[in-house]
Amino acid sequence: MKLMGEMLLRRESFDEIVMGNTALVRAMVEAGTQVVTSYPGSPTPEIAAAIQTISPDRRPFYFEFSTNEKVATEVAYGASVNGHLATVFFKSVGLNVAADTFVQLSLMELLGGMVVVLGDDPGANSSQNEQDNRHYAHMAYTPLLEPSSPGEVYLFYKEAAQLSRQMRMPVILRLTTHVCHAKESVHFEARPPFDAKRDPLFTVDHGPYIPLPASVAELKGRALDKLEKVRSFAASSELNTLIDHQNETLGVIAWGLPYLSLMDTLAHTTSKPDILKLAIVHPLETGVIVDFLQSHKEVLVLEELDDLVEKEIKAKAYDLGLNTKIIGKVDRHDWIGEYTPDKVKTILHKIWPGMIPDLRPPLPPSEVPDRPPQMCPGCGHRSAFHAIKQALADTDITVADIGCHTLGYLPPYEVGELLMCMGASTGIGSGLSLFNHTRSVLVFMGDSTFFHAGLPGVVNALHNRHNITMIVMENGTTAMTGHQDHAGTGRNFNTTAEKIPIRKVLEGLGVEAIFEVDTYQQKRLTEMVKTAMDVNGFSVVIARHPCMLKFTREQRRKPGFEPRQVQIDQAICSQVHACVAQFGCPTFTRGSDGSVEINPDLCIGDGSCVQTCPTGAIGMPVKK
Ligand SMILES: Cc1ncc(C[n+]2csc(CCOP(=O)(O)OP(=O)(O)O)c2C)c(N)n1
């Protein structure tokens, strides 16, 4: 890892095979970025992992994981209006959280420049939707660049930073899952000497920085003027490229992953369309597009997710009275999912069957067994669900939040019947408690989520006297996205920090019914949940156990660590299968004769299962 840190700071130019997320960090360094903020979310956490490889004393910029995406955007904005080049990055749905601040950014003079790096997720690989954040670029008059590959991530970030600083406006660098995670050999330039001037330059003379109703029209006009300047810049930019296959009939306009998939597909065809590859996707520089339309009879806009560019191009063609046939989305399949090579091939076949005559059926499903998501061996959330289930009536309603505990919806627990987005469980649960005197409502929330967006729902439940029980699934980390610290862990990204205990926060808000228990104490947890559900009003159970994946990794690194595992005493086991059917730890497997075996590769010897066996056949962990 240290080597990566060295590479990211190297003075001279070099070539290296890197991920898109890593290439981005080198670009930040080269561009002289001074402040970087984030809240974790796939596909972006590896950006922070790369930053972490640079030792803090040599890191040329300040980095923090903020409490949520909105705060991260505000910290970056504050730095930018003080003259520092700032960057905020987060996942697709993070922009919904940041939106209230984000939509005003283009109205302000961002003195130092500010790049908003979005990790969009077509195909919803690890998100609750596949929202197309280009809509926000339109809504907030913000330029948007979209790279296809790690090499372009590097180049486009530097371009975005320069453009942003020059125009004093935010610029979005929209990445998607494949672009973040793809690897290729990238040529990196020499690192310019770092200008360490960091004087705070904020003055209202650059403003106004207060979007009063009376100034909104002027500020919006200024944003629109800047956007037009970017459009002219795009006209002269060499980022948009033409790939000339001498085809005077057919053309394709593409960018991002669809462009790569198109090139992959065309590598195997004899007839090839000309290609106009875009880089600045908003605002569209229509001059080069119009030339392209005029020199082809049919043009396909190969656009992943929504049809924004297609509509804009069709409108332009209509205004100019062009008679080029413009093809975009044909059916609903074109709106959904990632534009992988297979998908692009299918689309081309649908439109121009002559170009792709041999559309083979997709490959048969791979022989590799499925690996459905599940909680890790020893996960405290499993113990919690096992125990809490004993306290619930079938009719009770359970609302999940986002995090590892979401997996509780799976059998055998089936706890967490509704889910929306981070922090939503308390509000949704409050709604479910209205006109409801017969069914208890339990809401679940992880500790990082509690600080991220959970607090307003808690305050609301208290203020409006909602009758719900909240279970805080406290595992001491932001587990699902790779173990980032949060306000309750006692560390921030850079150093130790005062822990903000959830219990104290709740007490400060006036919550009276607070129960706390380690989730491995299953019987106590069951009783506490029953008691909490009997409270008339808002009650909380803090169900605590450290994330065992993190804990076990840390233990394994310690000298003298001895791996352990539990044992099944086959003489005692009466094959009730509670361990498999109700506790559901993946360590247990049921043989064809009904006997239960332990998978030694999975068992971490935590012993949380021992108490779940009604016949006492699971023995305490012993050395492996
Ligand atoms: C607005 C938003 N930001 C980020 C994410 C990514 N995300 C999914 S789960 C999760 C972690 C939640 O951590 P915590 O609440 O502590 O639960 P844990 O996974 O540790 O059980 C995050 C950050 C998201 N889904 N939505």
For residue 476, is it left (φ>0), alpha (ψ between -120 and 50) or beta?
Answer: left
> For atom 12 of ligand 1, which residue has the closest CA?
403
Angle at 386 between CA 381 and CA 388, to 5 degrees: 90
Nearest CA to ligand 1 atom 13: 478
Distance in angstroms (rounded) separating the CA atoms of residues 518 and 292:
65
Please tell me the residue having the least CA distance from ligand 1 atom 21.
404
Q: Which are the contacts of 466, defined by CB distance < 8 A and separation ≥ 6?
A: 429, 430, 433, 434, 460, 537, 538
Question: How much of the chain, in percent, has pLDDT values that exceed 70?
Answer: 99
Residues 377, 402 contacting (CB under 8 angstroms): no
Residues lining ligand 1, judged by CB closer than 6 Å?
39-41, 69, 91, 93-94, 97, 402-405, 422, 446-449, 473, 475, 477-481
Q: List pLDDT tens digits, range 455-496.
A: 999 999 999 999 999 999 999 999 999 999 999 999 999 999
- Cα-Cα-Cα-Cα dihedral sign, residues 257, 261, 266, 267: positive
Token digits of residue 437? 């005197």
Q: Of the residues 102, 451, 480, 486, which should be mutated to test ligand 1's pocket, given the most ligand atoms within 8 Å of the CB?
A: 480
**By three-state DSSP, how is residue 539 classified?**
strand
CA 128 to ligand 1: nearest atom: 25
Residue 35: exposed, middle, or buried by beta-carbon count in 10 A (0-12, 13-18, 19+)?
Answer: buried
Give the closest residue (by CA) to ligand 1 atom 1.
Answer: 94
Q: What is the pLDDT of residues 240-297, one digit of tens each?
A: 999 999 999 999 999 999 999 999 999 989 999 999 999 999 999 889 999 999 999 9
Is pTM beyond 0.75? Reply is yes
Tell the residue number behind the tokens 């590859």, with chain if given: 277
Ligand 1 atom, smallest distance to 402 CA: 9
Residue 419 Cα to ligand 1 midpoint, Å, equals 13
Q: Which atom of ligand 1 is nearest to the CA of 446?
A: 15
- Residue nearest atom 10 of ligand 1, based on CA coordinates: 403
Contact 188, 13 (CB under 8 A): yes
103-120 confidence digits (pLDDT tens): 999 999 999 999 999 999
Tens of pLDDT, residues 482-491 = 999 999 999 9
Residue environment code for 577-608, b if the CB has 16+ CB neighbours within 10 A, otherwise e: ebbbebbbbebbeeeeeeebebeeeebbbbbb
User: Mean pLDDT throughout 50-56?
Assistant: 96
Looking only at the bridges linking them, the beta strands covering 241-243 and 274-277 are antiparallel
Average pLDDT (609-616) is 96
Q: Measured in angstroms, how far is the CA atom of residue 576 from the centroid of ligand 1?
A: 36
The arithmetic mean of pLDDT across residues 434-462, rounded, is: 98
Residue 164, helix vs strand vs coil = helix
Per-residue model confidence (pLDDT) at position 368: 79
Inter-axis angle of helices 425-432 and 455-463, to 10 degrees? 30
Nearest to 69 by CA among 458, 421, 407: 421
Pinpoint the alpha helices (H) of 237-307.
256-266, 286-294
pLDDT in tens, 2-42: 689 999 999 999 999 999 999 999 999 999 999 999 999 99
Please calculate the CA angle 568-569-570 and round it to the nearest 5 degrees: 100
Rounded-to-integer distance, Cα 137 and Cα 103, Å: 9
Residue 406 CA: nearest ligand 1 atom is 21
pLDDT at 127 over 90: yes
User: Dihedral through CA 164, CA 129, CA 547, CA 556, nearest 10?
Assistant: -70
CA of 317 from ligand 1 middle (Å) equals 44
Contact of 225 with 304, CB cutoff 8 Å: no
Q: How far is the CA of 402 from the centre of ligand 1 (A)?
A: 5
Among protein residues, the one whose CA lies closest to atom 7 of ligand 1:
41
Q: Measured in angstroms, how far is the CA atom of residue 554 from the centroid of ligand 1? A: 22
Helices (H), 423-541: 425-432, 447-449, 455-463, 502-509, 522-534
Q: Residue 405 corresponds to which amino acid?
A: H
Query: CA-to-CA distance for 385 and 374, rounded, in angstroms?
Result: 13
Residue nearest to atom 6 of ligand 1 (CA): 41
What pLDDT digit, counting tens, does each position of 291-316 carry?
999 999 999 999 999 999 999 999 99
Q: Say how many Å lie between the CA of residue 304 and the centre of ligand 1.
A: 26
List residues bridging with 144 in a β-sheet.
172, 282
Q: 169 C-alpha to center of ligand 1: Å?
A: 30
- All residues at 6 or more sequence positions from 247 whose CB lies less than 8 Å from its CB, including other chains: 271, 272, 273, 274, 296
What is the rounded average pLDDT for all residues in the chain?
Answer: 95
Q: In 73-196, at which residue ranges do the beta strands (DSSP E only) sit?
A: 86-91, 114-120, 144-145, 170-176, 183-188
pLDDT at position 464: 98
* Residue to substitute in 420, 481, 519, 551 for testing ligand 1 pocket (most ligand atoms within 8 angstroms of CB): 481
Q: Which atom of ligand 1 is nearest to the CA of 453?
A: 1
Q: Which one, of 23, 24, 25, lies nearest residue 51 by Cα? A: 25
Whole-angstrom distance between the N-terminal and C-terminal Cα of the chain?
30
Tokens of 74: 């505000």
Residue nearest to atom 3 of ligand 1 (CA): 94
